[in-house]
Chains A and B, each alone.
Chain A
Amino acid sequence: MLWTRKDLLGLEYLTPDELQLILDTAESFKEVSTREIKKVPALRGKTAVNLFYEPSTRTRVSFEVAAKRLSADVINIATETSSVRKGETLIDTGKNIQALKADIIIMRHNCSGAANILARSLDISVVNAGDGWHEHPTQALLDIFTLKEKLGKISGLNVAIVGDIAHSRVARSNIWGLTKLGAQVTLCAPEMLIPPGIEITGAKISNNIDEVLKNADAVNVLRMQFERDEGAAFPEQLDYFKKFGITEERLAKAKKDIVVMHPGPINRGIEMSSGVADGKNSVILEQVTNGIAVRMAVLFLVSQAKEAKG
């Protein structure tokens, strides 16, 4: 199949075939990072701009490494140093970057939909590196890639996502991606952290982590943030850990080979115990490694789509 999209905005918009193509492409790029010279010329002469309106060292560095392993030039723009704070609009900023003849904008933004708005205003590619509570497609892709690597398939798996689903772009992207590829997703969180209507995606909802873990082939544990300006009462940290924290005791009652994932950075002792984070079921560092391959695949595919279009 041919990749035709100039942008990657979210997994909701992709077909199962397109998801599969990204995963297959990532598979072939993974080997590059194991070479002595970790570079292929796939994007030589291309410029990728990391436009980050929200601080995120992890994701930014991962994209930067991915772009460089494809031989692209990378420019980093962070809000503190750009004209963003002086009131330039998102679209103006994007058009300026386009005028520099950059090829891809990789954007992190605190407003949901920012990547959609930028993408429809520009001819160059936009890759969403996380927008508000909306989507974080490459994170979900690397989660899915890792899961497939560990368990050999996605279809038919029971995958639990635990934590603040309501305010999580990682959760949304995972729900879309996993569901489209045939997995059964179960969301586990206090009721106030389950967003309305989410069951329409096909995900099941539970507030009993022990029940959920019993059936799960994998559990994706979201980072919890307890300070918010939302006004809604958030659970107490300790109380949350008691009811939903992933501990060795809880894992002992789960499937032996259950895969434990976390998008990082981990709050040890809040969403999972240190023993679990560093334990034999944890694939947290493999996720980081796979993030490079998945992002290489995405950057490669979107830039190809552009060339195909002329």
Chain B
Amino acid sequence: MSILIKNGRVVDPANKIDAVNIQAQAATIIDAAGKIVASGIIDIHVHLREPGREDKETVASATAAAAKGGVTTVLAMPNTHPAMDCEDNIKLLQGIIKKSALVNVLICGTLTKERLGQELSDIAALKKVGALAISDDGCSVDSDTLMLEAFKKAKQAGLLTVCHCEDKKLSGKGVMNLGFNSTRLGLRGISNESEYKRVSRDIELAAKCGAPVHIAHVSCRESVDIIAAAKKRGVKVTCETAPHYFALTDEDIVDYDTNMKINPPLRAKQDVAAIKAGLKNMVIDAIASDHAPHTENEKDIEFDRAEFGKIGLESGLAISIMELIEKKILSWQELVNVLAVNPAKILGIDKGTLSVGAQADLIVIDAGKEFILEKKSIVSKSKNSPFIGRRLKGLVEYTIYNGKVIYQG
């Protein structure tokens, strides 16, 4: 069955197209007059929680949330139970994906066994079984020598290394950004330094052996500067930020809202400005959600004790439209670049475009549609969104994956 989307404004930066499309014959016709038609979002930082923590999220629930959010490809982070550190575990996840995934799910393997930062995973074997990248996300490998070894092995295997940059000796027991707001709330702070020093180290080690490196969830201004400088001198570095790092600051944690407890933490105004500028001048390549579901039991408690992380698959596009398009930071072309085109390039997959013959992963967006994010409307199994109750703008009307409508708003 064929689908025709007519009258929509097609935004396809990969083919340098921004035009209202033409009509043809098809079985299903979607009238997209006044709507944006673009490639499905490729979200390269998602915690599916399955296997192991199906109480938080499953492949089925996360990919349903993805479909609702216009996301047609996700990269699953490996910090599951068991972790994605060997062939067998990846095969286990692949089986689940085959049975229950609604969108394209790609797998990131671990850097080290059980993500303990002690012993490298068999990186070549992870590649062979189908991992697209490796990461110990949630942790950073402290040992320089081990990290260098990982970059070398990843390069040999042709795998991208994704770095969660955090020096735990510096972030310690911190629960929010270090500054006046942590002082005011009496909470332990996490310095920018704990992030950017590790960004700097990882880039240096990757450059040493010529391995590509991707910096996950960039949150602070110094990290943006360090990555910009590395790109300038030709290091193969890419990076992503998340919508909360350009939509929220540490000031938003006014009443100890644990859905605002995120790692890296929500930063200061100057950091948000630097993140936006980084997106504009293409230092930051991609927007990824760092979708991190947690149950109410893990969030509805004291701030110090609550888990880090928030969900983001369903709200990322709206937040991006509000903060970047509406505030004239990015054009639609530039937004589609960071949401789909660049993420595809980073992973080396043939997606993110609307080229003739390309797999039909696309979305129809009503960019002007306003709605209030209600807890009960959240598809994800966990409801830990810091945007609950807020008025958002930009709704996905259709998500088409592999030529089929998988979500209709």
Is A263's CB within 8 Å of the partner chain B? no
B368, chain A: closest CB distance, angstroms? 34
Assuming the A-B contacts A112-B187, A135-B186, are A200 and B180 also in contact, with contact meaning beta carbons closer than 8 angstroms in the complex?
Answer: yes
A231, chain B: closest CB distance, angstroms? 7
Is the CB–CB distance between B297 and A116 below 8 Å?
A: no
Name the CB-closest residue of B to A133.
B186
Is the CB–CB distance between A132 and B304 below 8 Å?
A: yes
Is B301's CB within 8 Å of the partner chain A? yes
C-beta contact mask, B253-266 vs A, less than 8 Å → 1, else 0? 00110000000000
Is the CB–CB distance between B301 and A113 below 8 Å?
A: no
Query: What range describes how many residues of B lie at the interface?
Result: 20 to 34
Q: Number of contacts between A and B (CB, 8 Å)? A: 67
Is the CB–CB distance between A111 and B180 below 8 Å?
A: no
Is the CB–CB distance between B183 and A113 below 8 Å?
A: no
Is the CB–CB distance between A172 and B297 below 8 Å?
A: no
Is the CB–CB distance between A196 and B179 below 8 Å?
A: yes
Interface size on A, residues (CB 8 A): 27
Name the CB-closest residue of B to A198.
B183
Is B185's CB within 8 Å of the partner chain A? yes
Contacts of A231 in B (CB 8 A): 172
Is A91's CB within 8 Å of the partner chain B? yes
**Partner among A12, A117, A133, A197 whose Cβ is within 8 Å of the Cβ of B302:** A117
Name the CB-closest residue of B to A53.
B302
Contacts of A133 in B (CB 8 A): 186-187
Contacts of B256 in A (CB 8 A): 112-113, 116-117
C-beta contact mask, A95-113 vs B, less than 8 Å → 1, else 0? 0000000000000010111
C-beta contact mask, B174-197 vs A, less than 8 Å → 1, else 0? 000011111111110100000000
C-beta contact mask, A116-138 vs B, less than 8 Å → 1, else 0? 11001000000000011111000
Per the bound structure, the CA–CA distance linking A116 and B178 in Å amounts to 20
Contacts of B255 in A (CB 8 A): 113, 116, 120
Is the CB–CB distance between B178 and A196 below 8 Å?
A: yes
Is B332's CB within 8 Å of the partner chain A? no
Is B300's CB within 8 Å of the partner chain A? yes
Assuming the A-B contacts A89-B301, A117-B302, A117-B303, are A112 and B179 also in contact, with contact meaning beta carbons closer than 8 angstroms in the complex?
Answer: no
Task: Name the 6 nearest CB pairs between A and B, nearest first.
Answer: A197-B180, A134-B186, A113-B256, A133-B186, A112-B186, A111-B302
27 contacts between A and B (CB under 8 A): A89-B300, A89-B301, A91-B300, A111-B304, A112-B187, A112-B256, A112-B303, A112-B304, A113-B187, A113-B256, A114-B302, A116-B256, A117-B301, A117-B303, A131-B186, A133-B187, A134-B186, A134-B187, A166-B183, A172-B184, A172-B186, A195-B183, A196-B179, A196-B189, A197-B181, A200-B180, A231-B172
- Mark B residues whose CB is within 8 Å of A: 172, 178-187, 189, 255-256, 297, 300-305
